[in-house]
Amino acid sequence: MGKNYTLKECSGYDTGVSVAAQGISIHAELYGRKSNGILLYEGESSEPVRIDFSEDMRTGSVYHCILSGVSPHNHTYLFHEDGKPVTDVWAKRLVGHRLFGEEHAGAKEKDALKACAFVPERFDWRGDKRPGTAYEDSVYYGMHVRGFTKDPSSRIQEAGTFAGVQKKIPYLKKLGVTGIVLQPVYEFEECMKQPEPRTVSDVVIRQPDEAKMRLNYWGYMPGYYLAPKNAYAYGEDAVSELKTLVRQLHKNDLEVILQFYFEPSMPAFRIRDILLYWVNSYHIDGFELLGASIPLKEIAVEPGLSDTKLWSEWFPREEIEEVKKGRLSFRIPEADKGFPEKKTASDQKRYLACTGREYPDTIRRFLKGDGGMLQQFLHCQRKNPDNCGQINYLAAYHGFRLADLVSYEKKHNEANGEDNRDGENENYSWNCGIEGETRKKGILALRMKLMKNALVMLFTAQGTPLIFMGDEWGKSSGGNNNPYCQDNEITWQKWNLKKAQKELLAFTTQMISLRKAHGVMHQKEPLRQMDYLSCGCPDLSYHGHEAWRTSMDYQMRHIGVMLCGKYCVLNQKEDNCLYMAYNMHWEPHDFALPKLFKDRRWKLLLETETEKNTGIKAEKRREKEAVSGDGAAGENTAEAAQVTVKTAQITENGIKKPAVSADTGSQSVMLPERSIHIYISEEVPKTVKRRRYKK
């Protein structure tokens, strides 16, 4: 040991190295047979100072000690086992690997991970607080840190980094999302070795000039779970840069969800330690847990994560609740000492959320017109568990992008170098008649309408919506449904959008705005489909050719859905009623709008089949007609939005009747094929002169 360094035993059972007031706190898991210790480096070219740990510092295979006399800013370290250097798997910051992908592979040893850095816990958070946005009020945006700004069209110097994401916060705010979901940001080795061929067919398939290196652009692999990835940092200090990004996102009321991939061999206590570290040191709002055999119950009942959002494909909710109730039972003898009463389900905030494939698979099939999907579609649209969030998405990093769902019927993963064998075979997609790119205006218009339909479905569902970067404007990956190895324009976000892409971006922005403006679209508690307020209308109702009457037959591909605003009261004000008419059939259909409450009428808010209609603000309509709930009709006032209401004739016993009936108070509207209309209730202007239709 150097004369300036002192080492003494300490107690504790944590894992890792941290800077403490009394020195460097070390908790290291080492397996050398003869000696174990730490190697201190002062400068890159200096020889390390070897410091061995003594046996009285060891508990099992973990050494606990305090190292003094070390400057955290001037030294780096490695552990050693029998004199052999070992990188700390629980390092909080690593030195090296500043380049990414092919550049990193080309630099070889010059850009290798060299040592571990000491990380002082001091960071000026400036009073940072996590937004704590409830699931019912959230809209999430998934992204890859590098791919989000790496494209030259981003026009920022910090492209492909944490600082680059920070530069794009105004874009996220304008879009209207409330949080971002980041693909793995921990340190991992993205340049993987090409697996050796195991069969004759593998040898035949592999090209002679195929590189031995394989790229894992996504990062779903084991890594240094406590250290942010250096290649994602613009500056030298990835730790401070990521913390600064989180602080600025929180300042703008944006949450941060991190994705973590864990192998089945990772024990529960390790996963808990990793997540707790990111919560405490980086103020992270939540995590999406990926991998097989993750101990979800053990993680979900960790007290330190009780106010942290946790996502997975599923959770054993009954087992989790049983554990929580068991813990609460231990406090029963203390109940008379002033402990608060147990919260009801409506008072409790949800932190767990499921991200399963039921929603995207169902929506994709209903969107392209598959039979027998109506009932499952309605189930997915209203699904909103009272004790667990529901994350809904149309497309994500895996599978077809939104634009590719309406442009390709088969995967096109040839660029991945696996002979198109990788990726999902069933994508529930439809190419609208032509595979891939086309200039035919009719096909392009149909694809645009289908993408708008899909976005309307996503944002009118009761669960929490998630969109992946680029889907807001219709990014295509060229039919590649598994671009895990593509660090290029296939996966990068574009920023110089064309006219049609800007149209879809505006539509997405306005749909998010509509969702936020109407709480009836994203309620906290599950909808009951009952009139439990005794107001004459249930919270959720379904309608068909006639109001209050529907069919769930196999061939049915259209439905009317009404959300009653009386069941959503904010600031002592009832929300509007909304009626969504979904027609995924290749033929037009009539829809009956049910009678509204007194002095209320329906107004067309949105129609996806109008190319020039970018969303909520419908302008330059051909007809100007609105109908009140009691059967009165009249022209819009100057203040009312101009809308199109296409009336339909109803035939009964050979006699044509008007589309609006004074007896029923309902109105029939015609929806074109494969389109969606949204209607909103509004007050009948006092200046409208009422008149009755004569039979």
User: What's the CA gap between 671 and 685, in Å, rounded?
Assistant: 26
> Is pLDDT above 80 for 45?
no
Buried b (16+ CB within 10 A) or exposed e, 38-54: bbbbeeeeeebbebbbe
Query: Cα separations (Å) of 210 from 204, 241, 420?
Result: 12, 37, 15
Q: How many CB atoms lie within 10 A of CB 325?
A: 10
Q: Which amino acid is at 404?
A: D
CA-based nearest residue to 388, from 310, 290, 325, 298: 310
Tens digit of each residue's pLDDT (9 = 90 or more) over 579-606: 999 999 999 999 999 999 999 999 999 9
- Report the Cα–Cα distance between both ends of the chain, in Å, rounded: 103
- Give the mean pLDDT of the chain: 88
3-state helix, strand, coil in the chain (%, to 5): 25, 25, 50
Contacts of 360 (CB under 8 A, 6+ apart): 392, 393, 394, 395, 396, 399
pLDDT of residue 617: 38
Q: Which amino acid is at 143?
A: M
Number of alpha carbons in the 13 Å side-chain half-sphere of residue 592: 18
pLDDT of residue 193: 81
Contacts of 534 (CB under 8 A, 6+ apart): none
> What is the signed CA dihedral for 162, 163, 169, 170, rounded to 10 degrees?
-160
In degrees, rounded to 5, the angle at the alpha carbon of residue 461 between the alpha carbons of residues 460 and 462 is 115
Residue whose pair of structure tokens reads 């996963």 in the numeric block = 271
Work out the pLDDT band at 667, boundaries 50, 70, 90: confident
User: What's the CA gap between 364 and 584, in Å, rounded?
Assistant: 11
Percent of the chain scored above 90 by pLDDT? Answer: 80
pLDDT of residue 17: 95
Tens digit of each residue's pLDDT (9 = 90 or more) over 194-219: 765 555 555 444 444 445 689 999 99
> Is pLDDT above 70 for 343?
no
Mean pLDDT within 40-55? 90
Prediction pTM value: 0.90
pLDDT of residue 334: 55
Residue 325 Cα to chain centre, angstroms:
30
What token pair was written down for 95? 């030195």
Tens digit of each residue's pLDDT (9 = 90 or more) over 351-405: 999 999 999 999 999 999 999 999 999 999 999 999 999 999 999 999 999 999 9
Work out the pLDDT band at 654, boundaries 50, 70, 90: very low
pLDDT of residue 340: 53
Mean pLDDT within 442-467? 98
Query: Cα separations (Å) of 491 from 355, 476, 477, 548, 646?
Result: 22, 9, 7, 46, 42
Mean pLDDT within 99-119? 96
Query: Cα separations (Å) of 128 from 182, 243, 280?
Result: 20, 11, 12
For 156-217, the DSSP string reads -TTTTSHHHHHHTHHHHHHHT-SEEEE---EE---EEEPPPP-SHHHHHHS-TT--SEEE-S
pLDDT of residue 641: 30
Tens digit of each residue's pLDDT (9 = 90 or more) over 471-517: 999 999 999 999 999 999 999 999 999 999 999 999 999 999 999 99
Domains of the chain: 6-117 (2.60.40.10), 356-512 (3.20.20.80), 529-683 (2.60.40.1180)
Tens digit of each residue's pLDDT (9 = 90 or more) over 638-653: 223 333 333 333 233 3
Q: How many CB atoms lie within 10 A of CB 506?
A: 16
User: What's the CA gap between 515 and 137, in Å, rounded?
Assistant: 9
